[in-house]
Structure 1
Amino acid sequence: MLMLQYHNLLIQAILTERFAIDAVPTAIDQVISDFDNVTYHVSTPESKSRILISLSIKCFKDLQKYGVDELLLREYGDYAISPPETGYDFSLIIDLDNLPSDQESKERLIENIALLKRNAIAAPFEKAFSQFDTLAAEAAKNSIDLSVPEDSGSEVMAIHYRDEEAIFIRPSHDRVTVIFSTVFREDTDRVFGKVFLQEFVDARRRSIQNAPQVLYSNKEPPLEIRSVPGLKTSDDVGYVTFVLFPRHISREKREITISHIQIFRDYFHYHIKCSKAYMHSRMRYRVAEFLKVLNRAKPEVAEKERKTASGRRFR
C-alpha cells in the first residue's frame, strides 16, 4: 500500500516531456480520468506548440458558490481562458514558445497545473478557514471562551463530489468541522471501514495527541449537518467527522491540511480494497496448501488384477 499523490501523475509526465529543451512538438489528444469523477482533456487543437488542458469536475457548480472561479484565476490567471472548452468547466492554454526561462519556474508551473483538481476543491476549505478567522476574532473581541463550543449558525458548505457522497464543511469560532459521507457497497467494506476508523481513534489516544479528532457514525448523520436536506440514512452510509482545531489550520499548515483532508475518501477506500486483496491472496494460498496436504493423504492406487489365458486371477 502507498500514499496517494495530490497531483495528477499523467499530466505531470506529459508536461515534463513537452517542457524539455530538446522536446519536439507533437500532437496530443488525451482524456485522463482522476479520482472523484474528475476528467481532464489534454490536446493541441490549434497548433502543436499550444497545449490546451481542460478540467471537468462533477461538483463544479457547488464549488462556484464558494469562490472556485476566483481561486483558479489566482492560480492560473496568465493561462486561463474563457469560455472553457465545450463540455468542461475550466480550461487553460500553455504556449510552449513562451515558457519561463529558468528550470525551477518550469517545474513550479508543471506542479501547479498537475494540482488543478486539488486547487479547485480547495476553494470551500479556504473560505471556511477565512470564516473561522473572522469568527475567532469576533469571539476574542467579545471575550468568549474559545475552549467552549458554540453554535455559530454558520453555513454548512456541501460539496457533492460523487453520485451519492458529499463533503460537508462547517466553520465555527473554535474549530472547523469536516464531514465525509461515504457509501459502502458491500458488508465486508463496512467491517473493514470500522476497523480502519477505530485505528484512527486509537492512534490518537496512544501517541498522536495533536492529530485531529476523528468520529464515525453509521446511518445517522452527525448533529452538525442534520439540518441539510437530502441526507441518506440507510445502513450502507457512514459519516466520518474530522474536527480541525486552530493548531491544524494555522497559516503555516493550511495548505498541507487541505491537501491531506480532501483526499481522505480516496485514501480510505483504496486501503480497504488493498486489505481485501491481501486477505484473498492469503486465502488462496491456504487453500493451495490444504490441497497439497489432501493430495499427499490419498492412498496409493491399488495395482489392477491380472488374468491368465485360462481365466485365473492374480496380482
Structure 2
Amino acid sequence: MILLEPHNTIIQTTLLDKIAKPSTLDVQFVDFDGVRFHLTSGDKKTMILLSMNIRCWDELARYGAMDILKREYGALVLDQPENEYNVSLMIDLEQVPQDPESRDAFVMSIAMLKRNALSATFERAFQEQKELETSGGKAELMEIHYRDEEAIYVQASPDRVTVIFSTIFREETDRIFGKVFLQEFVDARRQPSIQNAPQVLYTNRDPPLEIRHIAGLRSTEDTGYVTFVLFPRHFSKPDVAAATISHIQLFRDYLHYHIKCSKAYMHSRMRARVTEFQKVLNRAKAEVATGEKKTVSGRTMVHR
C-alpha cells in the first residue's frame, strides 16, 4: 500500500521553482481535510507569503500549536496572519540557504506547515505521558474536530497514549471495504515481525469507552471508530516520535484513499471482464450465409 507524504507537494515544488527563478505568484489550493493554503508574492518578488486556514485551529492553538510553529519557523511566523487565514509565514527567498541540501531541508520544513500544526496535540500528549508515569491518573481528553462530523481524540495515561479516530463511511461499499482493511490491521499485528506495532481496535457504531461520555457522538451504522494504543517505545526517541506523528495524523486520509483505489481497481477489472464476455458472445453468433444459389442451367434462385 502507498503511504501518503506528510508534506504538501505544491508548496514544495512552487518554492523550489521561485527560488530558482523569482516571479509574481498568487496560488490558492486545498490539502486533505479541507485545509486551505494561499501562496502569494508582494511588491518584491523574492518575498513570499504562505497562509493556511484549518478548521480546527482554535483547538490546536489551545494545545500549543503556535508555540510549535514558532519553534519550527521562528521569525517567519507573522503576528497578524492574512485575512481569512489562521497562520501566515513570510519567506524571504534571498535568505534561503544556498547549499542544496540545506535548501531542500528548509523548503521541506515549510511544506510541512500543516503537519507541524497538527503535531501540537500529539507532542503535548507524549509529554503528559512522561509526567503521569510518576504522578499517575489520566490527562485531559483532547479533541480535534478537523472534519465535518469527524474528529481525533487523544488522551495520555501513565503507560500509554490513546488516539481515537471517528470516521464516516458515506456509502455501503465504503463501510464494507473499510471493515476489511481495519480487520487486516488487527490481524497483521499477530505476525511476529510486527509485534512492536501499535495496537489497533475497530468498533462500528458504538464509541469506545474512553469517549463514550462525550455528548453528541454519532452511533449510526455509517460511523466507525478506530483506536490506536501508543506505548512509550513509539515516541520515546525524538526521531521515532516525529515519524509516529507524521504517520498517525494521516491515517484517516490513508484509509479512505485506499478504499477509493480498491473500488477503482475492482471497477477496472469488472469492465475488462465484461469486454471479454462480449468477445465470447460475438464469436458465438451464427454466421448468416450471403452466397447466391444457382440452378444447373445457371439461373439464380430467388426466395419468395
- The residue that corresponds to 2:302 in the other structure is 313
Please tell me whether the aligned partners of residues 293 and 300 of structure 2 are also in contact (alpha carbons under 8 angstroms): no
Structure (1/2) with the larger helix percentage: 2
Aligned pairs for 1:12-23 within 5 A: 12-20=12-20, 23=21
2:164 to 179, 189, 193: 179
- The residue that corresponds to 2:228 in the other structure is 242
Aligned pairs for 1:40-59 within 5 A: 40-59=37-56
Please tell me the root mean square deviation across aligned C-alpha atoms, in Å.
2.0
1:159-179 Cα deviation digits (max 9, x unpaired): 000011100001100110000
Please tell me whether the aligned partners of residues 307 and 314 of structure 1 are also in contact (alpha carbons under 8 angstroms): no
- Number of residue pairs matched? 299
- The residue that corresponds to 2:31 in the other structure is 34
Q: How far apart are residue 239 of structure 1 and its match? A: 0.2
- The residue that corresponds to 2:271 in the other structure is 284
1:202 to 184, 187, 200: 187
1:97-148 Cα deviation digits (max 9, x unpaired): 2333433332221011000000000000011111101001324xxxxxxxxx
TM normalised by structure 2 equals 0.93
Q: 1:55 and 1:270 mapped to 2: Cα distance?
A: 23
1:37-69 Cα deviation digits (max 9, x unpaired): 111100012321100000111110111110111
Structure 2 unaligned segments of length 5 or more: list them.
none
Q: 1:244 and 1:98 mapped to 2: Cα distance?
A: 39
SS at 2:155's partner residue? strand
1:264 counterpart = 2:251: yes
Please tell me whether the aligned partners of residues 168 and 179 of structure 1 are also in contact (alpha carbons under 8 angstroms): yes
Quick one: percent identity of the two aligned structures?
Answer: 57
1:129 to 113, 117, 126: 126
Q: 1:57 and 1:106 mapped to 2: Cα distance?
A: 27
Q: How far apart are residue 304 of structure 1 and its match? A: 8.4
Structure 1 unaligned segments of length 5 or more: list them.
140-151
Q: 2:146 and 2:76 mapped to 1: Cα distance?
A: 25
Please tell me whether the aligned partners of residues 128 and 169 of structure 1 are also in contact (alpha carbons under 8 angstroms): yes
SS at 1:155's partner residue? coil
SS at 2:190's partner residue? helix
Q: 1:306 and 1:314 mapped to 2: Cα distance?
A: 10
Letter in 2 for 1:247: R
Please tell me whether the aligned partners of residues 129 and 171 of structure 1 are also in contact (alpha carbons under 8 angstroms): yes
SS at 1:81's partner residue? coil
- The residue that corresponds to 2:92 in the other structure is 95
Q: How far apart are residue 232 of structure 1 and its match? A: 0.8
Q: 2:106 and 2:263 mapped to 1: Cα distance?
A: 38
SS at 2:286's partner residue? coil
Q: 1:107 and 1:137 mapped to 2: Cα distance?
A: 41
Q: 1:238 and 1:277 mapped to 2: Cα distance?
A: 22
- The residue that corresponds to 1:188 in the other structure is 173
SS at 2:236's partner residue? coil
Aligned pairs for 1:100-115 within 5 A: 100-115=97-112
Q: How far apart are residue 16 of structure 1 and its match? A: 1.3
Q: 1:121 and 1:312 mapped to 2: Cα distance?
A: 86
SS at 1:313's partner residue? coil
> Is the alpha carbon distance of 1:52 and 1:305 closer, same or farther for their aligned partners in structure 2, counting shifts above 3 Å?
same
Please tell me whether the aligned partners of residues 30 and 42 of structure 1 are also in contact (alpha carbons under 8 angstroms): yes
SS at 2:150's partner residue? coil
Q: 1:83 and 1:161 mapped to 2: Cα distance?
A: 23
Q: 1:43 and 1:83 mapped to 2: Cα distance?
A: 16
